[in-house]
Structure 1
């Protein structure tokens, strides 16, 4: 049995392992060039490019899906070529790829809108709602289920080993998925379903972000992490804001139209993958890996036991005699998360109602994102500072609850105004006016974080994230079904009425329970803060 170097246990031996413990001399740190030394800035670049490419292709993919399904519908229904014109110089009238039909015509066909959110071949089923829900659930939501599982064990792995390897598999599959979407002959539904399952098993974007944060934590001092992570979040939000607009511009500029955007996304993924394999250094040295694994249990059963214990701890937060306020705020957050499923329908609604394409929606998303940044960084801090000056803790909680109610009512009014909109430019005015409504979720998060002590914050937000995933899956089934039925019956605005009703009900619930929430939070603050 090989001998190992063991440290003598004395009163000066640290309780936790230190990077300065002696290990084998072969594992000593070797000098390396400055560009090979791990730094948080080195991992920000590939993640920014990855998120930018993924966000850039979201809206063009929705448009491509409409056109692709329209072509399948044309083939299966035997429509004449005159009904699907293909010769035009304007992208508003036709895409530039020969096998895709006319966008202006396809967007008005109820059968295409019915199937657009299912991502399946309409020649298989033209009007079966049960089959539509089944296809949509299998394709769109096969990814989050293995993704939740993958994030659990990959989070344990990234804590105990090198983080660079975990950045590779999500990018590899995103590149593969983009290629399968823009192939010359399309892709069968089964292939798309299997592709989404593989994407979830490899971790998808969630694991990539998680391992990036782990890489940053490995390569920066603890006192500097908060500022660095805030800067990274701001950089990511910029990519989310600009990418859809740029993707829409490219659909009009590129000769290949919407398909050309996918090829650019593929090239971007190859760039990121090459950077990680060739340039990005490991976050931990061999010496640090040995020190971590020496004190960690790495068996599969140990990992599963740790995950179960964590989930039990999370669930216990929302139980007990004093958890009514927590359940109330959590329920409000989950309903808001479920209502966000209506956002997925917006492109199809705008295309059906106003003839918008990827460029038009990307432009709207850019303008609305700028407005939301203003509300988050300027309007809300100013309101809290002005009205909260000299207020007691109970009055501050009451102020925040009233702002949440106002945000919900404003959001509801905004959805109702969208129903009445007759021109596309009206959506800009409505979106900027009700942008304050987007503050409801972060404010509810802040209220919810006050219901537990500081030692339970991590478990609390882990539970919230898990439940929001489930709510997202549920909304992904409900809203596409509502949209398909409403378009088929010439009521395309039905989902907007549903969203408005959800926010009105939530605002009324907060009114009836405001006093109990304030008294509970005030009592908790007096005990723990």
Structure 2
């Protein structure tokens, strides 16, 4: 019992770790396109190069995430998490000092290869919580993501308006401090009796995905999750340059927009999600969120004025419930001894989407970057996001609606 209480008490520690980690990522988000733009001679070139930089990180993470997840099942979550933090700190510092685009691209590959922080954090939460509490704790983890994106982008945007290198130096410093903090404070969450032997076969990202397909009821959820995440990554890759091309936004403006997104994430995932779960099941919240997100993507591409982006951010309340809800549904279908492996595989899905999103969104944005400010055609990547999310919503409505009907009819049967 003491060991269980200790692991449950570790939740605040992992939340702080995720907060500092996401703060660092948030700091560089508004200025990375600007930094890449210093190596390019046109908006279209910047858009394509930015997409390549994002895809390079994701490709490396796709192959490394299940490997690091499997290692965390054998050696524990703590050492893998610390390795990722140290690698990201090096990534930020070298990016700040890069003098050529190829240097930046190379260090992005290195950063992706060692960073499995999201997968390990998800496995950590699964280790220390009971199945019925996972949606709530994933929501709290999402809230920490939101707080990180409240503090980070505003700081990065303000610094980036003065010097595009400063945010990377600050992010590297915070990540290094986070690593030191974790070394001295963060406890291990995985007890020795629940550890598994490591094999390269299970660390193969394609093998990990195939194994998830064998879990009853998870395959369609993975399709919904994968398409939804693909739409999100396409959005993330396009957001900063889209708002610059269409509204003339600066890094500071983009930092403020992410501030608004972070505030909504904290409000919804840190509080409203739990309130809504008292009156309706998680799968129904996910269905509503998928539809809400589809409408929001299309609206972001259509609006003619920058202030309208904030209205949509605030209106898309249920959209912020989709990812923690889907993560909870998947985690509850997985054996407790395989959470690291399964979350590494889920992270591989994220990485596949993170590769495809930039490769789809960035070239599309480059083709419309020459249109005048305010032109609705600049929103082409967002219309693509809406189409992808619409497919996810259709699959989710069919599958989750059928599952809900089966549950409702079970007592009568």
**Shorter-chain TM-score range:** 0.7 to 0.9
Q: 1:353 deviation in Å? A: 0.9
- 1:152 aligned onto 2:69: yes
Are the counterparts in 2 of residues 155 and 210 from structure 1 also a CA contact under 8 Å? no
Cα separation, 2, equivalents of 1:414 and 1:221: 33
Seen in structure 2, the aligned counterparts of structure 1 residues 526 and 462 have a Cα distance that, compared at 3 Å, is: farther
Alignment correspondent of 1:98 = none
Cα separation, 2, equivalents of 1:166 and 1:453: 21
Cα separation, 2, equivalents of 1:383 and 1:356: 35
- 1:198 aligned onto 2:110: yes
Cα separation, 2, equivalents of 1:515 and 1:269: 42
Q: 1:469 deviation in Å? A: 2.9
Cα separation, 2, equivalents of 1:526 and 1:155: 44
- The one of 131, 153, 157 equivalent to 1:248 is 157
Q: 1:350 deviation in Å? A: 0.5
Are the counterparts in 2 of residues 172 and 269 from structure 1 also a CA contact under 8 Å? yes
- 1:172 aligned onto 2:65: no
Alignment correspondent of 1:469 = 351
- The one of 206, 227, 239 equivalent to 2:148 is 239
Alignment correspondent of 2:263 = 370
Cα separation, 2, equivalents of 1:116 and 1:462: 30
Alignment correspondent of 1:303 = 199
Q: Which structure carries more relative contact order (alpha carbon 8 Å, separation 6+)?
A: 2
Alignment correspondent of 2:230 = 338
Q: TM-score, normalised by structure 1?
A: 0.60
Cα separation, 1, equivalents of 2:31 and 2:176: 20
3-state SS in 1 of match to 2:316: helix
Q: 1:39 deviation in Å? A: 7.9
Are the counterparts in 2 of residues 174 and 204 from structure 1 also a CA contact under 8 Å? no
3-state SS in 1 of match to 2:249: coil
3-state SS in 2 of match to 1:365: helix
Alpha-carbon RMSD across the aligned residues, in angstroms, is: 4.5
Seen in structure 2, the aligned counterparts of structure 1 residues 146 and 415 have a Cα distance that, compared at 3 Å, is: closer
Deviations 1:73-129 (A, max 9, x none): 2xxxxxxxxxxxxxxxxxxxxxxxxxxxxxxxxxxxxx323433424xxxxxxxxxx
Are the counterparts in 2 of residues 314 and 463 from structure 1 also a CA contact under 8 Å? yes
Q: TM-score, normalised by structure 2?
A: 0.75
- 1:415 aligned onto 2:324: no
Cα separation, 1, equivalents of 2:411 and 2:172: 51
- The one of 21, 25, 28 equivalent to 1:57 is 28
- Give unmatched runs, 5+ long, in structure 2: 4-8
3-state SS in 1 of match to 2:369: helix
Q: 1:426 deviation in Å? A: 1.4
- The one of 310, 314, 317 equivalent to 2:215 is 317
Q: 1:506 deviation in Å? A: 4.1
- 1:187 aligned onto 2:100: yes
Deviations 1:209-242 (A, max 9, x none): 479x49x97xx999xx989998666545422332
3-state SS in 1 of match to 2:256: helix
- Give unmatched runs, 5+ long, in structure 1: 1-18, 20-37, 74-110, 120-132, 285-290, 389-395
Are the counterparts in 2 of residues 142 and 196 from structure 1 also a CA contact under 8 Å? no
Cα separation, 1, equivalents of 2:115 and 2:241: 28
Pairwise mapping of residues 89-100 of structure 1 onto structure 2 (< 5 A)? none
